[in-house]
């Protein structure tokens, strides 16, 4: 991959990769590390991609794997990020704030699927390819995530 092509891909997909990383890491600093590792792997990759959509899916898959690698370390299992404690998202509407908080509290396996489906607008089939899961598994995780959100938001409104 030449420098121009790398810069084009990086500028095109940096935001998408960062959003997926923040979603998987729950920490902006860790997400930045994951993004950096993802783009290093892109630079080192010698295979050529079919098209831009293939690049996007590959980047999301690598980002998800990097997030999983990060959480496998014993250090990450035992600490809480200062950003989780201090930083809050500001919303003008209570409903959006409650939904955001509820999604952030979902387990990673549900949160990633919800993010790809609702925010990145991937279909179930595309998510199954990216996450290397069956379509049924993706649908099941979406269903369970929706149920958890429904329960959580029902509690919040009562």
CA 56 – CA 54 distance, rounded (Å): 5
Confidence grade of residue 73 (pLDDT, cut at 50, 70, 90): low
CA 78 – CA 23 distance, rounded (Å): 19
For residue 135 the two structure tokens come to: 């379509």
Residue 3's closest CA among 53, 41, 48, 43? 43
pTM above 0.85, yes or no: no
**Residue 122 · residue 142 · CB < 8 Å:** no
For residue 1, pLDDT over 60 is answered with yes
> What is each CA distance from 111 to 10, 80, 107, in whole angstroms?
24, 18, 6
For residue 87, pLDDT over 50 is answered with no
For residue 98, pLDDT over 80 is answered with no
For residue 29 the two structure tokens come to: 């600093």
Q: Give the rounded percent of residues in the chain with a pLDDT score beyond 70.
A: 80
pLDDT tens for each residue of 103-122: 888 888 898 898 888 888 88
pLDDT tens for each residue of 15-44: 999 989 988 887 788 889 999 999 999 988
For residue 111 the two structure tokens come to: 């949160």
């Amino acid at each position: 991959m030449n420098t121009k092509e790398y810069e084009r891909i990086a500028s095109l997909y940096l935001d998408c990769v960062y959003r997926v990383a923040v979603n998987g890491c729950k920490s902006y600093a860790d997400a930045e590390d994951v993004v950096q590792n993802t783009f290093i792997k892109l630079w080192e990759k010698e295979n050529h991609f079919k098209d831009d959509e293939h690049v996007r899916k590959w980047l999301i898959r690598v980002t998800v794997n990097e997030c999983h690698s990060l959480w496998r370390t014993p250090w990450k299992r035992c600490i809480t990020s200062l950003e989780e404690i201090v930083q809050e998202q500001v919303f003008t509407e209570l409903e959006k704030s409650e939904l955001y908080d509820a999604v952030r509290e979902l387990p990673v396996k549900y949160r990633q699927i919800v993010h790809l489906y609702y925010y990145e607008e991937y279909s179930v089939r595309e998510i199954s390819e990216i996450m290397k899961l069956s379509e049924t598994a993706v649908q099941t995780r979406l269903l369970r995530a929706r149920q958890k959100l429904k329960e959580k938001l029902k509690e919040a409104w009562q």
